[in-house]
Chain A
Amino acid sequence: MSKAPAIAIKNLKIALPKSGERSYAVEDVSIDLIPGEIVCLVGESGSGKSMCAHALMGLLPDTVKTEAGEISFGGKNLLKLTEDGWREVRGRDIAMVFQEPMTALNPLMRIGDQMMEMFEAHGLLTPKERRAKALNLAKEVGLPDPERIIRAYPHQLSGGQRQRAMIAMALALEPSVLVADEPTTALDVTTQAQILKLIRNLQRSRNMAVMFITHDFGVVADIADRVVVLRHGKIVEEGSIDAVFRNPQHDYTKALLAAVPSMDPPARAPLDETNKAVDVIGLDKTYVTPTGWFKPDRRVQAANEVTFSILKGETVGLVGESGSGKSSVARLVMRLIEADRGTVRIGDVDLTALKGKALRDQRHRIQMIFQDPFASLNPRRKVGQIITDGPISHGADPKKAMERARELLGMVGLDAGSLDRYPHEFSGGQRQRLGIARALAMDPEIIVADEAVSALDVSVQAQVLKLLEDLKARLGLSMLFITHDLRVAAQICDRIAVMQRGEIVELKPTAQLFASPEHPYTRELLSAVPGQSSPSQAA
């Protein structure tokens, strides 16, 4: 800590527009970024961590105002800069990597041109030199076949490659400070591990100061030198990684660390092997997109001979990276999309053979909990209606259905007064509880949870998972649990199926899968989970 900070935020105070929930987005935040050090800014959604990053780049939205504090960099207070002054600093001294590489790159510009634009914007080098630089950068961030890739368009690259290109752009002018705002959140675990390693290496070799923003404690454990924990716009704890993880002082930090699911699967009660709730046999699904008259159609196989069964009271996990077809399988099982081939049996009913009214009558037996708590509730219907619509359409008495909805709200830990409110009045976690209540209102035998906790903050995630477990045990439900997060899967699943490119490559009891993975892909996935070597396991 003896080194002088490259950039220092001092007592920053950013006012939010009035009528908001709180009056300050960030209050009295002071952070020093020291060359050669990665500072992780951790916090749940709404903690003000992105505000800090945007303040560093002078990218705050017009609706907020910096009321006090300064950001000192090279003897200047950046907050006093004009727009022209900022333009000098951005890219050259401070650079940023964004969360979503697909939207942060211009889809109509070649990757190389976007890199060269960095030099052009600051009036540096000749076009020829810029090109050579871009090529070097592409090499440095480990893009394969740099010659070809700088001529490619963003959509021709994979997510990880795009993020590498973003990093190359950020590094183009050799900034002394790099701000990374959730740079790996949109990526798969294996890609995430590579990008984290890349950022770490580049930061070491260039002796940059890095501000790394994340909500994922696993990532923090892998990359941080120093950790700053934010809550409601205030710093609750700050210290070296070891100090914060081994010996957290503040209750909030302790709670956050405790909420991170562990990689050790707990022991699970044995189940009756003969009593099957669902039988999925040989599901095939290929998406065909016509590409034009003279080209062959684009085919993506989302499910290839997918076969598994779920016992009564069992939770089967379906894990895999994005594009592995796990969500498609969930929707095939629900019959939200039609399979090309294969059968889904619930008890002795063949769901795939039913049509129209007969299908609608059977649908209540298998219910779904969706990923996005904001998109899964109709914004124009009251909670009471959302929960009772299903039962009423199956012939339940409206009064009784409402009575039951009230009970269910209690069951999922919400106030019965919520019935007359609209979804937008609830937080993400509460909305997910509403989604669970809606599913339970149908008295299902099986619940399909599609990334049901992925959009939630860790502490809320832990609560919702516990609620799901409780309800499942109490009501004797079976569950198909789809997730990309192996930590969550370890905690909740009896058996786990690993999917890759539409195929189940390994299906085993959880403890066995974690202890002795057989398939190389499973091994790769397991080793890529962030934060395994970390002190967080002690928590």
Chain B
Amino acid sequence: MKKFWKLMLRNPGGVIGLILLTVAIIIAVFGPMMFPTSPWRMVQRPFLPPFTNPMVTLGTDALGRDVFAGLIYGARVSLLVGLVSTTVALTIGVPVGAIAGYFGGKVDDAMMRGTEFFQTIPSFALAIVLVAILQPSIYSIVGAIAIVSWPPVARLVRGEVLSLRTREYVQAAVVTGQSNSWIIWREILPNTISPIIVLASLMVANAILLESSLSFLGLGDPNLMSWGYMVGAGRTVIRQAWWITVFPGIAILLSVLAMNLIGEGLNDALNPRLAKDSR
């Protein structure tokens, strides 16, 4: 574990990503304490430019709502959606991939055709349809994102399991009479963790983007302030009031960038040999 952190910290990109993520988490957890009132509340005159009033540092939007407060509440939604939907996607994708890879043959065929069915539909279109049918809410958004992002997990896990299944230690477990579920959970899956972690970090970034896109289109949870919604709402007045769209846009950029950098760093730290060769 110590060695892992050492490798992780050697990668400057990963360190920057970790710092950004830590800041985002702190804001998401403690930020709302600074703004105990709702971000939907009007606090000033509309279209107040940023850095003019110390009470509303980043200005106000078309309805006089505080952009800074919106950013802070939006961090909660973005991170929450990113993490929860990734977790859900993993809980679907990992077992599907593991079972397909381990049993092979017809089971594999059936499960992979199912996976491909999801992969052939453009993921964003599917997400829009799902949210529209289920009515926009935080649950339907998380569900839709999870449903469109599990297939890559399943494929990755299947590939790893396929190669690990023929390892001698797995055969050793078979000849000592272990059951299939024991072999999958205890012998195979722990050895697939590194690539899954790397993929998961990138999936969080993707989920944040998807959520923003859905909210941008007005399919966000109407009760929650989110970055995508802010960009979407400010879009029509971007020439008069750039700050309404630019600040949440930067927030999305930074958080997605942070997750990508972390993913890169994790990849280097968990596959040290690859990292050394590339340099």
Contacts and interface: CB of A to CB of B under 8 A. Distances in A.
Interface of A: 331, 334, 336, 360-361, 363-364, 366-368, 370-372, 375-381, 389-390, 393-394, 435, 438, 441-442
B190 A390 contact: no
A361 B168 CA distance: 20
Contact of B168 (A364, A370, A389, A393): A370
Contacts of B186: 381, 389
B276 to A, nearest CB: 8
Given A375-B168, A442-B176, 18 more contacts: A331-B171, A334-B175, A336-B174, A336-B175, A364-B176, A368-B171, A368-B175, A370-B168, A376-B172, A378-B191, A381-B187, A381-B190, A393-B176, A393-B177, A393-B179, A435-B172, A438-B172, A442-B177
Given A380-B190, A380-B191, A393-B182, A363 B169 contact: no
Nearest 5 Cβ contacts at the A-B interface:
A390-B176, A376-B168, A363-B177, A360-B177, A370-B168
A363 B176 contact: yes
Contacts of A331: 171
A346 to B, nearest CB: 13
B171 A390 contact: no
B169 A376 contact: yes
A442 B179 CA distance: 15
15 contacts: A336-B175, A360-B179, A361-B177, A364-B177, A368-B171, A368-B175, A370-B168, A371-B168, A376-B168, A377-B169, A378-B169, A389-B186, A393-B177, A393-B178, A438-B176
Contacts of B176: 363-364, 367, 389-390, 393, 438, 441-442
A121 to B, nearest CB: 24
A389 B174 CA distance: 11
B262 to A, nearest CB: 23
Interface string B169-198: 101111111110010001100110000000
Nearest to B279: A62
Nearest to A62: B276
Nearest to A380: B190
Contacts of B179: 360, 393
Contact of B171 (A336, A360, A394, A441): A336
The winner among B174, B176, B182, B187 for most chain A CB atoms within 10 A is B176
Contacts of B177: 360-361, 363-364, 390, 393-394, 442
Contacts of B178: 360, 389-390, 393
A367 B178 CA distance: 13
Contacts of A442: 176-177
B45 interface: no
A370 B182 contact: no
A371 B190 CA distance: 23
A472 B178 CA distance: 25
A352 to B, nearest CB: 15
A505 B174 CA distance: 31
Contacts of A376: 167-169, 172
Contacts of A367: 175-176
B4 to A, nearest CB: 14
B37 to A, nearest CB: 50
Contacts of B182: 389, 393
Contacts of B168: 370-372, 375-376
B178 to A, nearest CB: 5
The winner among B172, B179, B186 for most chain A CB atoms within 10 A is B172
B175 A375 contact: no
B272 to A, nearest CB: 12
A368 B174 CA distance: 10
Nearest to A394: B177
A2 to B, nearest CB: 46
B278 to A, nearest CB: 13
Contacts of A380: 190-191
B191 A379 contact: yes
A364 B172 CA distance: 11
Nearest to B193: A380
Interface in B156-174: 167-169, 171-174
A366 B190 CA distance: 27
B270 to A, nearest CB: 13
Nearest to A357: B179
A366 B177 CA distance: 10
A367 B176 CA distance: 7
Contacts of A393: 176-179, 182
B167 A363 contact: no
A377 B172 CA distance: 8
Given A389-B178, A390-B178, A375 B167 contact: yes
Given A361-B177, A363-B177, A381-B186, A368 B172 contact: yes
A375 B182 CA distance: 19
